[in-house]
Amino acid sequence: REVAEGVPTARAAAALARKNQVEMPITFAVEAILDQRLSPREAVTALMTRSLKEELE
């Protein structure tokens, strides 16, 4: 079975972000799509309806 380039990296980036408690919503959405927990449409909706907040706290 072939895996598209970037799939393992997306999962590794999400794991590293969780480990270091870094919020990376786009990366987490990509991971959810890859794991079939969200459809692409659901992921976009979730990202676009997030509440606004400061980038740096």
Domain segments of the chain as ranges: 7-48
pTM of the model: 0.84
Are 19 and 27 contacting, i.e. CB atoms less than 8 angstroms apart?
no
By the 8 A CB rule, do 38 and 26 touch? no
State the sign of the Cα–Cα–Cα–Cα dihedral 20, 25, 27, 32: positive
Q: CA-CA-CA-CA torsion for 9, 43, 36, 14, nearest 10 degrees?
A: 30
pLDDT for residue 2: 73
Q: Which residues of the chain have pLDDT under 70?
A: 57
Report pLDDT for 57: 65
